[in-house]
Structure 1
């Protein structure tokens, strides 16, 4: 039984904290902090109503390292779970090092002034965490996170080598809004508008954003347009699977989303360059994020399902030649809302954050330093995944995908 401190009070945090409270045998004492304490209080009230578990809440600016250190020392957790914004990863890691506590997040660091997310900044912390005897677990969401674990489970149980990998993320949900994002609008739009990159023959291949598209028939959702994007697990997977010849990430978007996003780009509203307005500098994308619907407000109206998984091709473990496997999860938005008060996009990230936290606090995954999900044994994580709301399915395909 362990004490944990969760930072952030969005939809993912809400799901994670609800699921922690449902596993009081693992998480005996849960603390929640964010810049806006009222959001923490609202989550705590929901958790109390649904589970009967009480949660302590705090106001904190996660970028203020001394304040974070003081809070960590006050709470005394064995793990800090960072579910705040990617910009805040490094100061929270600094605070964990100073306070002497383990660290976990769901998304890698991204500087505010540049739409460029990669692991190099956090990997640079490895020796400091190692010397401190602490563990930092990166990317314990769905993608990254579960998709990485799916891949390594296939490599452990089905494929001796993986030469080709495609990650497919489909949200077939309808929230009834003209335009809204299913997670933090600022982070979502920065990701989507960045150039696409994929790994091929030992190097990165870059293409313009949202220019490469394929159709894929997603079970229980239907045929959707999936667009080639860059996503951070491609960086870690290409590092930890040296034989990987090609790795790509695909995400589905509807025509209405693409139309709205194109207009917003054309008028400059997705820019992260400051502009002067009424004597003040403002960031257009931050202003846009402030006027868009909050992702955590979409749960009640969202219908449909998500379908996220990986397709891997390589040499079969049993020596039977080349084989292709598809491993995926399907999550229902309405079921997720009924259980936690949040839609499935938050649910599919918040549940893995809880499971990764359980892996660390129970000592199932151990180590001193900075680790990605690919470096850990996939089996115990996969066992919990199926038992806590995200069942998975493995299918052998006739051959490699050719899109």
Structure 2
């Protein structure tokens, strides 16, 4: 039905390409490009062995708009799926505009020299994409992505209005390392160490990173400490569902992770400003990334499950109700299917589904869109059918905290 170009050959890119190959009736051609072509070749070999589908591979520096435009013109996809670094979002959007091709990503743009997470830069492309007759879909991962679709599904089927929304992200996996991140270390640590923010009655409330903690008992994982953080879907949900009074995002971290991170911060290893070392400029966080385990290498050793979902409280027929909608994903099952652990799987599968929504014409439009602007039902159906089944249950009341 359609040919797509995927940019980015990390764990998420690997999962997305594997799942696209498993749906060759939708994705009739797949091209994969990255700064390091050998990574693309390794993914292509795995895809060929597991599915029999051939993936074309290319080398590209996605910071180079002209080169990326030339590659898009060579491949001739109907959609570019950006699974590269968030710093590269705007350059890839520019290349899509130049080549006249639709765009999709899983994470919002952030400047490389500042840990600032907001949609303003990409929302500013609205008029450009609309004038070009093109569609850009932002944030089709799990969070952001599925968590926004969960909210709109609850808003459509279970609640007339949503008053409060909490997004809970739990990774109960154990990879056997003293300290490692389950996705790109540089992006992960920038995100975790940024000030926490939540939305309350039309205002943003900011608190120091990792200072507000609660415990929650996650099904099939158990009780875990979770910390209030900022995540970009809070901004888009507050914008597109302005009825919501409070939106919060929580993520679990073990005590050992917090201890290691605290030490790294205290000695300056999480800095994103350059320092001079032996006459050369280096960025400490990028050096730290180089010495930490590659997230894609954690698949064979990671055991346990993830549990990610939304808890929404609102009115139904004038009565206040609370619903919890969530997915549980097993690290070992994800690895058996795609050769990647569940954190990559839970982002890569939604990337494939978002791409499917676009290339099949299920979700259409001209301009820049977030996930919650579309009908959630077809996306939710594909989650159930492609490895991320969800469940919903009514709770006795809202969260006590």
Counterpart residue number, 2:66 = 66
Distance (Å, rounded) in 2 between the aligned partners of 1:380 and 1:275: 49
Counterpart residue number, 1:45 = 45
Q: Which runs of 4+ in 1 moved over 2 A?
A: none
SS at match of 1:162: strand
Which blocks of at least 5 consecutive residues in structure 1 are unaligned?
none
Counterpart residue number, 2:382 = 384
Distance (Å, rounded) in 2 between the aligned partners of 1:117 and 1:276: 27
Residue number among 345, 358, 361 corresponding to 2:359 in the alignment: 361
Distance (Å, rounded) in 2 between the aligned partners of 1:219 and 1:321: 27
Q: How does 1:1-400 map to 2 (within 5 A)?
A: 1-316=1-316, 319-400=317-398
Distance (Å, rounded) in 2 between the aligned partners of 1:402 and 1:134: 44
TM-score for both structures, normalised by structure 1: 0.99
SS at match of 1:271: coil
SS at match of 2:300: coil
Q: State the Cα distance separating 1:243 from its structure 2 match.
A: 1.0
Deviations 1:64-101 (Å, cap 9, x if unpaired)?
00000100000000000000000000000000000000
Q: State the Cα distance separating 1:46 from its structure 2 match.
A: 0.4
Q: State the Cα distance separating 1:320 from its structure 2 match.
A: 5.0
SS at match of 2:250: strand
Deviations 1:19-75 (Å, cap 9, x if unpaired)?
000000000000000000000000000000000000000000001000001000000
SS at match of 1:174: coil
Distance (Å, rounded) in 2 between the aligned partners of 1:305 and 1:191: 22
Q: State the Cα distance separating 1:113 from its structure 2 match.
A: 0.5
SS at match of 1:299: helix
RMSD: 0.4
Q: State the Cα distance separating 1:323 from its structure 2 match.
A: 0.4
SS at match of 1:128: helix
Distance (Å, rounded) in 1 between the aligned partners of 2:237 and 2:160: 15
Distance (Å, rounded) in 2 between the aligned partners of 1:356 and 1:402: 34
Distance (Å, rounded) in 2 between the aligned partners of 1:361 and 1:13: 18
Q: State the Cα distance separating 1:402 from its structure 2 match.
A: 1.7
Distance (Å, rounded) in 1 between the aligned partners of 2:398 and 2:338: 37
Distance (Å, rounded) in 1 between the aligned partners of 2:387 and 2:104: 21
Distance (Å, rounded) in 2 between the aligned partners of 1:273 and 1:359: 39
Q: State the Cα distance separating 1:145 from its structure 2 match.
A: 0.1
Deviations 1:317-375 (Å, cap 9, x if unpaired)?
xx151100000000000000000000000000000000000000000000000000000
Deviations 1:250-276 (Å, cap 9, x if unpaired)?
000000000000000000000001000
Q: State the Cα distance separating 1:117 from its structure 2 match.
A: 1.3
Distance (Å, rounded) in 2 between the aligned partners of 1:122 and 1:402: 36
Which blocks of at least 5 consecutive residues in structure 2 are unaligned?
none
Distance (Å, rounded) in 1 between the aligned partners of 2:78 and 2:374: 19
Distance (Å, rounded) in 2 between the aligned partners of 1:353 and 1:331: 16
